[in-house]
Amino acid sequence: MNKLLYRVFTYMLFAIFISLILVSSIEMQLLDNGKFLERELIAPKELSVFYNFINDYVNLRGYVEGHTLSELMTTSVNEIDKTYQLNDIVAIYSSDGKWLPDSDMSIDLTNAKKYYEINNNPILRILLPNQLPKDYYLSQAKTLDRKEVFVVTSYGNFGYETLNKCIAIIYKMRFFTIILALLITFVPVAISLAVSYLIPLKRLRRAADTIAVGDLNFNIRTQGLDEIKELGKSFEYMRRELEESRKREQYLKESHQQLIANMSHDLKTPITSVKGYVEALLDGKGNNPERMEKYLKTIQSKTIYLNAMINDLFLFSQLDLGEYTLEKKLWDSAEFIKILMEPIQLWVEDAGWHFEIRTPIPKAPLYIDMMRISQVMENIVQNSLKYATMPGNLTVECAITNHYFCVSMSDTGIGISQDALPYVFEPFYREDDSRSQKMGGSGLGLAICKKIVELHGGQVKAESELGKGTKITLYFPLGHY
């Protein structure tokens, strides 16, 4: 808004400057040859009469200004008339009501005074018609000692009609010039208002209408005044937020549908297997102890798998809905790594793998839920062991980066393809579904890991190269002692 006011003020100054130049130029042309734009408005004879009237007025004013009031009061009106051969002075009086000798004090100056007041008020002079009083003309001058006197003159041989016409034309041209200057101001101001205010607001209104009908696939351009730009940026931010919200909603909807589909698939397989073995037992096919034991062990393993999947589903749903509460405590990073890695080291070495923790471990305070982070580590290590074709190496490395305590676990397993890498933390995602079914698992392990780490205010990152191994890095925000 300040910029707009500055522009309006600048245009007004420019208009005043232009109007002064135009008024001066037009009056000079009128008084020079009586023409405006090659059109004769005042005839040469009329112009001559006007000039004579002005010259007499100037001479009379010069006489008054060259004498003090006391000197002036000792001179009669007739003497001044004879000195300048004016023959049109009727009376001269001071502001305190004293009249020069030979002044006609019986004259009616009502019209003359009214015209004088209008003519000396710049606003009234523009708004009210300027017509000379028909009887007398009243003018003001100051004496040598700065005393105000008023001179009353008649039109004498000049002719009222001629003088009135000349003055009326001059005032009309002034009025025309002022209107022209206002137009010169108004047009740029109107354009500036339209460009800086009205057009941007109209665009914002169209944008709001477009958003209201659900169309978010566009960008809102911000231009105009600073306030309008800020409003446009707010609208664009709102549009992006709504667009992101819609994308998230669509993603959650698709994820929910995919989750249901995967749950149905993963639950159906073991249930079908259990159902088949139960029907076989009912049909009497488990008629010897060995076969019955085999059927029962299979049913037990499938039941354990179903129970684990249901537990994972329940935990994942709690984490996904933000309904799970962590039991975080303050831990020293070295103690945290020692407690976590001792059981993992035994587990990995029992599987025939080589286990290494690179030292030193950076010292830092960590505010975490030890039990859930242990679950995260176990899930990651379990995947490394499960999908390896032969024993390999598992290396743990710790560091502090950008206010995060990082724990990296690198294996020398089969690795993950670059196409599958972005999806490894998605629920139920399996790069090789047939192999994953044989390996068991709910398909929610890494998704749960990601949710638990994020609930701690951290993040998880996977790096891998097919055939060479995988590196999973967990980032935990630093706490305070």
**pTM, full prediction:** 0.48
Reported as a single tens digit per residue, the pLDDT across 441-478 is: 567 888 889 999 999 999 999 999 888 899 999 999 99
Rounded to the nearest integer, the mean pLDDT of the chain is: 80
Reported as a single tens digit per residue, the pLDDT across 390-411 is: 889 999 999 999 899 999 999 9
What pLDDT does residue 474 have? 95
Of 440, 462, 447, whose CA–CA distance to 258 is shortest?
447
What pLDDT does residue 436 have? 47
Percent of the chain with pLDDT over 90: 20
Under CATH, which architecture does the 325-477 domain have?
2-Layer Sandwich (3.30)
Q: Which residues contact 89 (CB under 8 A, 6 or more apart)?
A: 60, 77, 80, 81, 151, 152, 153
Return residue ranges of the chain for CATH 3.30.565.10.
325-477
Percent of the chain with pLDDT over 70: 82
Of 168, 218, 210, 217, whose CA–CA distance to 50 is shortest?
168
Reported as a single tens digit per residue, the pLDDT across 101-148 is: 988 888 888 888 888 887 777 666 655 556 677 778 888 889 999 999
* Ranges 168-182, 293-307, 324-338, most confident: 324-338
Cα-based angle 216, 218, 221 (whole degrees, multiple of 5) = 125
> What are the CA-CA distances from residue 75 to residues 92, 98, 153 (Å)?
10, 13, 17
Residue that wins the pLDDT comparison between 333 and 84: 333
CATH number of 216-323: 1.10.287.130
Q: How confident is the model at residue 175 (pLDDT cuts 50, 70, 90)?
A: confident
Return residue ranges of the chain for CATH 1.10.287.130.
216-323
1 exposure class (CB count in 10 Å sphere: 0-12, 13-18, 19+): exposed
